[in-house]
Amino acid sequence: MTRIALFLIVLSLVPALPAFPETTDAAVDTGGRAEPLPKDLENVGITERPNEQLPLDLLFTDESGEAARLGDFFGERPVLLNLGYYTCPMLCGLVLNGVIEALKTIDWTPGKEFAIVTVSIDPSETSTLARLKKENTIQEYGRAEAAKGWHFLVGEEEEIRALTDAAGFRYAYDDERGEYIHAAVIIVCTPDGRLSRYLYGVLFDSQTLRLSLLEASEGKIGSPLDRILLYCYHYDAARGRYAPAALNIMRAGGAIAVVILGITLAALWRRDAGRRPKV
C-alpha cells in the first residue's frame, strides 16, 4: 500500500480534525439543518492574517539545546512555518510527511532557496525531542544538506502563544485524551517575517508550494521561468492552489509573439540587406 493511500485512509478515520480554515459561523450545516460545533472545536481553527508581522524577537530553544531568536531564521529567504508538536500521534506527522513528499518533487532545498521552521506548541516538549524529530525528518527527506535550513524549536507557553496568536493558529488541549487539537496547515512567510500564504491539508501540491515560496520571496528566488509562471498564475483560495490567469497568459503570449515577430523581421531584413548588390 502506498503512503498516499495510507494518508487518505487515515484521514477518513479522523473527520473531527479541522484541516481547513475555520468559518465565523457558530454551527455546521449538515443536510439542511444547523448543528452546533463540537465543544472541543469551538476555539480551534485558522484566522488568516495576510501581511501580518510575526514577533521575531521571541526566544525559543533549538534542536541542539541552544537559545534561538525567531528572527534568526528570517532575513534572507522565505520561510515555511510549521506549527504542531513532536509527540502528536497522527496529524502532525501526516503534515510533515506531506511537506516532505512535496519537497522531494522540486529542486529547491531548505537552507538554499528557503528555510523551514517547525515549532512545537507543547511547552512540555524538550530540545531532545526536537533533535530526534529533526533527525527522522531529514532522513526521510533524503537530502542531508537540508539540515542547515530546517529548524526544530521548542519554547515556553508565553512565547508559543505569542507566535500562534500572531499567525492566527488557534488550538486547544484535550485533557481526556492528552492531545492537542489543531488544524492541518503550513504557513508561507516572507523573508522579513510577514505572513504570506496558508496551505491546508496533509497533501501539498508541489507547484502550489513552489509558487507560494516564489511569491513570498517577491521573485528573488527561482529561475526566470519560475517568475513567468507566477505571472501567469493566480492563487485560487477556493481550491487552495494556483490556477492559470487567462488575462496574464494572453498578455505574456502577446509579448512573446511580439518578440518572435521582431526577431523574424530582423532576420529577414539582414538577409535581404545581404542580397542587395553593392554600389
Q: What is the pLDDT of residue 43?
A: 83
Nearest alpha carbon to residue 141 among 163, 164, 121, 116 = 116
Q: Are residues 189 and 63 in the same domain?
A: yes
Three-class DSSP labels, 230-249: HHHEEEECCCCEEEECHHHH
- Cβ 114 vs Cβ 77: under 8 Å: yes
Q: Between 21 and 277, name the one with better pLDDT.
A: 277
Q: Are residues 49 and 173 in the same domain?
A: yes
Of the ranges 12-26, 67-81, 131-145, which one carries the lowest mean pLDDT score? 12-26
Residue 162: HSE in the Cβ half-sphere, 13 Å Cα cutoff: 14
Q: Between 121 and 276, name the one with better pLDDT.
A: 121
Separation between Cα atoms, residue 34 and residue 158, nearest integer Å:
36
Residue 115 phi/psi, 5° resolution?
Answer: -130, 160
Q: Between 95 and 257, name the one with better pLDDT.
A: 95
pTM of the shown model: 0.72
Does 114 reside within a domain?
yes
Q: What is the pLDDT of residue 246?
A: 39
Q: Are residues 160 and 83 in the same domain?
A: yes
Separation between Cα atoms, residue 221 and residue 219, nearest integer Å:
6
Q: Are residues 204 and 269 in the same domain?
A: no
pLDDT in tens, 215-235: 898 866 655 544 444 445 455
Output helix, strand, coil percentages for the chain, rounded to the nearest 5: 40, 25, 35
Q: Are residues 265 and 152 in the same domain?
A: no
Instruction: Name the band, by pLDDT with cuts 50, 70 and 90, for residue 17.
Output: very low
Does 152 reside within a domain?
yes
Number of domains in the chain: 2
- Cβ 55 vs Cβ 189: under 8 Å: no
Instruction: Name the band, by pLDDT with cuts 50, 70 and 90, for residue 6.
Output: very low
Q: What is the mean pLDDT of the chain?
A: 79
Instruction: Name the band, by pLDDT with cuts 50, 70 and 90, for residue 93.
Output: very high
pLDDT above 70: residue 275? no
Coil, strand or helix at 37: coil
Q: What is the pLDDT of residue 218?
A: 82
Does 12 reside within a domain?
no
Q: Which domain holds residue 273?
A: 252-279
C-alpha grid cell, residue 165 = 496568536
Does 241 reside within a domain?
no
